[in-house]
Amino acid sequence: MIVSAKEMLQKAQEGHYAVGQFNINNLEWTKAVLLTAEELKSPVILGVSAGAGKYMTGFKTVAAMVRAMDEELGITVPVAIHLDHGTYDACYKCIKAGFSSIMFDGSSLPFEENLAKTTELVNVAHNLGLSIEAEVGAIGGEEDGVVGMGECADPAECKTIADLGVDMLAAGIGNIHGVYPENWPGLSFPTLEAIKAKTGDMPLVLHGGTGIPDDQIKKAISMGVAKINVNTECQIVFTEATRAYIEAGKDKVGKGFDPRKVLAPGTEAIKAKVKEKMELFGSVGKA
Ligand code: 13P
């Protein structure tokens, strides 16, 4: 069931668990995440970055595929199709394409411009029944060519953006996209505490979910994080499973070269990873 992310995140915030955002790259990814969410009766958010959208030939293709798949698979749990780290233009494209949720990432803009553009997009999204995520304080690491420094957000700026009526707020607390470096100091819980104190019941978003130790994830959820984004970890397990299949020579046996067979182990690996994360985030049975 395709819905905006508003209600599922409010429930998560009240219930002290988090909804996973799993980024999708193709049909196998989408199918794996949807089937796992249905099996575990968990709400879920499908994240689509600009790069992944382009790879799948455009946001229209993505929205059409997700909506059709949701229907054909008979998915009953709440599913949001969400733009990940959108520019101003990408937000409008996704609204037109049939997404149910958008993220406007104005964190690299001067704060006043982030504020003005977020204000406009909140109104547009809400008038059309979509949910909207905003970002304050760049998330570290590299995503789609944009490199952030992992800065911590300013709690006062978080409050100003939260007061615009966004449905979820991504605030940097030392998190980084991709694999964490050995010397990563961990999440800044004092920053999270200060942001939470200013933003009240606003569902907070933790980007860069890959590789954050489980105890830090649980602590972050207990302190108000209601949405956690995971991308790289699914890519790693997909690739490892695919390599194992090829290295075992399974593509050389019978019709093992059939793409449906080649892609099956990777798809199963994504399902297992999504299951593990949903259990960790506490969203199982919350649909
Ligand atoms: P990871 O790739 O580090 O899991 O981060 C995903 C993310 O935050 C998408 O916005």
Alpha-carbon gap, residue 64 to 109, rounded angstroms:
31
Ligand 1 pocket test, pick from 87, 142, 187, 232 with the greatest ligand atom count within 8 Å of Cβ, gives: 232
pLDDT of residue 182: 85
Alpha-carbon gap, residue 147 to 184, rounded angstroms:
16
Question: Is 244 a domain residue?
Answer: no
pLDDT of residue 66: 98
pLDDT of residue 140: 63
Question: Is 285 a domain residue?
Answer: no
Nearest Cα neighbor of 179 from 140, 210, 138, 142 is 210
Phi and psi of 225, rounded to 5°? Answer: -75, 125
Sign of the Cα pseudo-torsion (160, 162, 165, 166, in order): positive
Q: Per the structure block, which two tokens stand in for 262?
A: 């080649």
pLDDT of residue 249: 98
- In the residue annotation, 215 being an active-site residue is answered as no
Alpha-carbon gap, residue 247 to 244, rounded angstroms:
5
| Domain count along the chain | 1
Q: Per the structure block, which two tokens stand in for 28?
A: 């196998």
Question: Is 125 a domain residue?
Answer: yes
Phi and psi of 131, rounded to 5°? Answer: -95, 160
pLDDT of residue 52: 98
What residues make up the domain containing 72?
6-232
Q: Which residues line ligand 1 (CB under 6 A)?
A: 23, 47, 84-85, 177-178, 207-210, 229-233
Alpha-carbon gap, residue 221 to 140, rounded angstroms:
20
Q: What is the CATH number of the domain that holds 81?
A: 3.20.20.70
Question: Is 280 a domain residue?
Answer: no
Alpha-carbon gap, residue 132 to 6, rounded angstroms:
8
Look up the pTM and report it.
0.96
Query: pLDDT tens, position by position, for the chain (287 residues)?
Result: 999 999 999 999 999 999 999 999 999 999 999 999 999 999 999 999 999 999 999 999 999 999 999 999 999 999 999 999 999 999 999 999 999 999 999 988 999 999 999 999 999 999 999 999 999 876 666 555 555 556 789 999 999 999 999 999 999 999 999 998 888 889 999 999 999 999 999 999 999 999 999 999 999 999 999 999 999 999 999 999 999 999 999 999 999 999 999 999 999 999 999 999 999 999 999 99
Ligand 1 pocket test, pick from 210, 236, 276 with the greatest ligand atom count within 8 Å of Cβ, gives: 210
Question: Is 183 a domain residue?
Answer: yes
pLDDT of residue 200: 96
Q: Per the structure block, which two tokens stand in for 140?
A: 């570290």
Alpha-carbon gap, residue 274 to 179, rounded angstroms:
17
Q: Which amino acid is at 256?
A: G
Q: Which amino acid is at 44?
A: V
Atom of ligand 1 nearest to the CA of 210: 4
Alpha-carbon gap, residue 175 to 140, rounded angstroms:
6
Question: Is 118 a domain residue?
Answer: yes
Question: Is 281 a domain residue?
Answer: no
Inter-residue contact 174 to 185 (CB < 8 Å)? yes
Question: Is 261 a domain residue?
Answer: no
